[in-house]
Copies of this chain bind each other. A is one copy, B any other.
Amino acid sequence: MLYQHGTLGTLMAGMLEGTATINSILEHGDLGIGTLSGSDGEVIILDGTAYHANEYNEFRTLTGTELTPFATVTPFKPDIQFTTHIITDDETLLDEVLAKVGSKNIFNAVKITGTFEIMHVRMMPQQQPPYTRLIESAKVQPEFTKEQITGTIVGFYSPQLFHGIAASGFHLHFINDDKTFGGHVLNFELNKGTIEVSKIETLEQHFPVNNEAFLTTDIDYANIDEDIRETE
């Protein structure tokens, strides 16, 4: 089971107000990704703890009371596990994940633990109200590259049909072992590591039914597909 609060499309359309607490997200899983109110930075959920990397490259453990407009989480139980000992780029490795899952038509959850030759991430800069479309923030997003860093990638693969609900393809966040650095993964090279994958049978999509702005706004989803591709 994969639990998602909010949708990426709604976030892209500029509905950035947090509508669920991080604690309420953690009730549905121990591995995941998300962002905070205002699309503030990148949330990484690993082993049941939620961490946050902001645009200033600051890293902290969340208390749980923070609000998120968009988060995805799963009670992670790997169905597939394999290791690699040669330097592998993200495209090659993720193709291997899909090959082992045997399907591009179901969601899967991934956890990649190891030493990375290169880890290239971004952190989404926080918007202040009144919020605009997320593509505006994405244009000025800070990026950071680390070399020879040990840590864990967590995230999800979403099938093509779900582009808009989530980002189709892989959406991955990174956290280092020291819990001092992380972000939204742009690309990487894994030196050696362990890859664990969980096949997802059910997507539990939760809507912020008590948020007046979400309920009543005439949300403009025009260009959402392209916006997501450009931003993610």
**A interface list, Cβ under 8 A from B:** 7, 9-10, 102-107, 160-162, 164-165, 199-207, 209, 214-219, 221, 224
Q: Is B221 touching A160 in the complex (CB atoms < 8 A)? A: yes
Nearest Cβ in chain B — how far from A217, in angstroms? 7
Residues of B within 8 A of A205 (CB): 202-205
In this complex, which of A104, A105, A209 has the most chain B Cβ atoms within 10 angstroms of its Cβ?
A105
In this complex, which of A161, A204, A216 has the most chain B Cβ atoms within 10 angstroms of its Cβ?
A161
CA A10 – CA B215 in complex, angstroms?
28
Nearest Cβ in chain B — how far from A104, in angstroms? 7
- Which chain B residue has the least Cβ–Cβ distance from A107? B207
> Which listed residue (B106, B162, B164, B219) contacts A209, Cβ 8 A?
B106
How many of these chains are in the complex?
2
Q: Is B105 touching A215 in the complex (CB atoms < 8 A)? A: yes
Residues of B within 8 A of A206 (CB): 201-202
CA A144 – CA B21 in complex, angstroms?
50
Q: Is A207 touching B165 in the complex (CB atoms < 8 A)? A: no
> Which listed residue (B165, B199, B201, B221) contacts A165, Cβ 8 A?
B165
Q: Is A105 touching B217 in the complex (CB atoms < 8 A)? A: yes
> Which listed residue (B200, B216, B224) contacts A103, Cβ 8 A?
B216
Residues of B within 8 A of A104 (CB): 218
Q: A203-B205, A204-B205, A205-B205 are in contact. List 4 more A-B contacts (CB 8 A).
A: A10-B105, A200-B207, A201-B209, A204-B204
> Which listed residue (B105, B162, B165, B207) contacts A202, Cβ 8 A?
B207
Q: Is A209 touching B199 in the complex (CB atoms < 8 A)? A: yes
Q: Is A105 touching B201 in the complex (CB atoms < 8 A)? A: no
CA A221 – CA B215 in complex, angstroms?
29
Q: Is B207 touching A106 in the complex (CB atoms < 8 A)? A: yes
Nearest Cβ in chain B — how far from A119, in angstroms? 31
CA A8 – CA B218 in complex, angstroms?
24
Q: Is B9 touching A161 in the complex (CB atoms < 8 A)? A: yes
Residues of B within 8 A of A203 (CB): 203-205, 207
